[in-house]
Amino acid sequence: MALRTFIELPATSDAVERWLSSEYRSALVGEPRCPFIMPQPTAEDIVEAQSAVRELRAQANRASGDFIEELPTRVNIARVCDHLGGLGFAHVDMNHTPLRARVCALFLADYLTAPEDYLLASGS
């Protein structure tokens, strides 16, 4: 949900701040601090991060796994267990992480939790 919402955001710092304090915060594991400490994204940073997520999602539909090369060197995710005992992954927020790295971490956590959602989408 947080990724889909992010992709549709207007490229403004106000829109990103609202997204960070709502959808993004809900997608995190642990006790995130709010407001989030990060470099102030410009409109270009926002558009670049949105483009990166779109490209990662498109590449993830291919079984080759080539999208891994497009991820930042460090992606902060953790294995989590839900209340029903299901295993998955979630992003762990780290201060000073740029916007693009944050949304790429959300993507990777989503992909690792349900890769079939991406791989099966390639056949449709």
- Give pLDDT tens digits for 65-108: 889 888 988 899 999 998 898 899 999 988 889 999 999 999 99
Instruction: List the domain range (segments joined by +) for residue 85.
Output: 2-123
The model's pLDDT over 57-71, given as tens digits with 9 standing for 90+, comes to 999 988 888 898 889
- Whole-prediction pTM: 0.88
* Whether the predicted pLDDT of 1 surpasses 90: no
Compute how many other C-beta atoms are within 10 angstroms of the C-beta atom of residue 21: 14
The model's pLDDT over 15-64, given as tens digits with 9 standing for 90+, comes to 999 999 999 999 998 876 666 788 889 999 999 999 999 999 999 988 88
Distance from C-alpha of 75 to C-alpha of 102, rounded to nearest angstrom: 8
Strand ranges, E, within 3-76:
none
Closest CA to 56 of 91, 1, 8, 106: 106
Cα–Cα separations (whole angstroms), residue 101 to 39, 53, 83, 87, 95: 11, 10, 28, 23, 11
Task: Tally the domains of the chain.
Answer: 1
